[in-house]
Amino acid sequence: MNKKVLIIGGVAGGASAATRLRRLDEHAEIIMFERGEHISFANCGLPYYIGGVIKERDELLVQTAESMKSRFNIDVRVRSEVIKVDTDNKKVTVKSDSKGIYEETYDYLVLAPGAKAIKPGIPGINSNKIFTLRNIADMDAIKDYIDKKGVSSVVVAGGGFVGVEMAENLKLKGLNVVIVEAASHILAPFDSDIVVSVEKELVKNGVDLVLSDGVKEFVDTGNHIDVVLNSGKTLAADMVILSIGITPDTGFIKDSGIKLGPKGHIIVNEKMQTNIENIYAAGDAVEVTDFVTGLKTAVQLAGPANKQGRIAANNISGLNSVYRGAQGTAIIKVFGLTAAVTGANERALERAGIDFKKIFIHPSSHASYYPGALPMTLKLLFDDSGKVLGAQGVGYKGVDKRIDVIAAAIRFKGTVYDLADLELSYAPPYSSAKDPVNMAGYVAQNALTNKTNIITWDEVSKLNKDDYILLDVRTEGEFRRGHVEGAVNIPLNSLRDRADELDKSKIIIAYCKVGIRGYIAERILTQKGFKVFNVTGGYTEVERLR
């Protein structure tokens, strides 16, 4: 007997489940319900169409109801909202624009309802000048409003990925843009010592940032909308993009017997199966396991959603596939800058009670002698065994491939020793003989094998200044152009002859521009009987965080 599978929701998780299931089973009856008009679209491309980077709207439509029917023989029912799931009798209740309210039975059910924008009970939030961006209809409404109303100023409430991408694209469109973020920094997956570079890039390109200040009230004045902040400051704008987060769209299954997590996410096992045997779930609405920390989490990214939908289809077809967790690999373009992250950040590791070490390096995107080389910052988090726990990068060129390599290493439970051993492609236009990934591995390896005593500027700030000497081993010219207050300058090339100028009873904290000369200075002085630490990332970290 042919199985009947109902899929609730499209986009990444639902559409992937539907098409994978058809490829595995030509005879299954597959029905997909989508509350909106569009079943499979490039969600991540929406800001770029609004900004005019993507010119053709149809380029965002991955599959239509008609193409799903003709190519995959899937019965797609748009403008059809599933309002109830009866797990005892294996049927759902559908509210359809064309058919009214009716019931549909199933053998298997895949839940991919996604998430909806959070709209908290802030006074004035229902103004028609406030928009959210989750789907094609939202995109059309924003673009239409900007084009027809002569919008010149926008407040973006929320500094997550979508908020920042919207800010960039609205600025490129020529609008005045302010991002308001209640937290102390934007882009929560990044640690503050990395994300400051993104914040500087936004400001450099004319986007105003208001941090550590949330929205208290919206006041529609007719021609404009005033955004009143908790601090009392008021921002006047033509429109507001509300981007303060999303919540799983799972209200319709609350009384179904399907278990939900504390924030409304669908609880699934490694097979993407709910607590009810023949019901699976995928995408933004599910609770998953963090691949690094082992804690429960939710990751709203297209890559994981596609994989989860595929795995659900595999298991319906008897292939016994498992989802091994999400590591949150993500990347964002902010004007000329790229920032990327994979694995756990410091806050996640602290929440999980996992001890970690960290290093910073500032390599060039490719061989420095080949034209066009640009600096980047890489941060690596690892434990005492060398296991890689997370990485973050920011720069103008080459960040994406380095984070992707480290993401692969994390997925295969690799160590910093593996990063040092990796044989990566090299030619001067693309990399260096020691790729930045290798370099991160070397620095971390030295730290773990006691070839270097790594210290961060944050750790230095907590020491008693009477206990150490801050040693700047850059050239005299570099020192004159800027240095850390209180530092003594002995250039590296003079250090062997001038080491006796230093007090052996004190700790020597050496720094250079990026950490390499500081490391060499540390090796020289350590073997002369000094106790030495090398500041990871060097003076570049001071300049970057300033």
Which residue numbers are catalytic? Answer: 44
| Contact residues for 241 (Cβ-Cβ < 8 A; gap 6+) | 131, 132, 133, 142, 154, 155, 156, 157, 163, 166, 170
SS3 of residue 14 by DSSP = helix
Non-local (6+) Cβ contacts of 63 within 8 A are 15, 19, 39, 40
Alpha-carbon distance of 12 to 135, in angstroms, equals 12
Residue 166, judged by CB atoms within 10 A of its CB (0-12, 13-18, 19+), counts as buried
Give the torsion sign (CA, 237, 241, 243, 247): positive
DSSP, collapsed to helix, strand or coil, labels residue 210 as: strand
Exposed, middle or buried by CB within 10 Å (0-12, 13-18, 19+), for 497? exposed
Calpha distance 503→470 (Å, rounded): 11
Residues 6 or more apart in contact with residue 70 via CB below 8 angstroms? none
* CA–CA dist 416, 138 (Å, integer): 44
Q: Are 160 and 243 spatial neighbours (Cβ–Cβ below 8 Å)?
A: yes
Return the closest-CA partner of residue 419 out of 390, 394, 397.
Answer: 390
In 99-152, the DSSP E strands lie at 100-105, 108-111, 115-117, 130-131
What DSSP string runs through 351-388? HTT---EEEEE--BSS-TTSTT--BEEEEEEE-TT-BE
**Which of 244, 285, 278 is closest to 264 using CA atoms?**
285
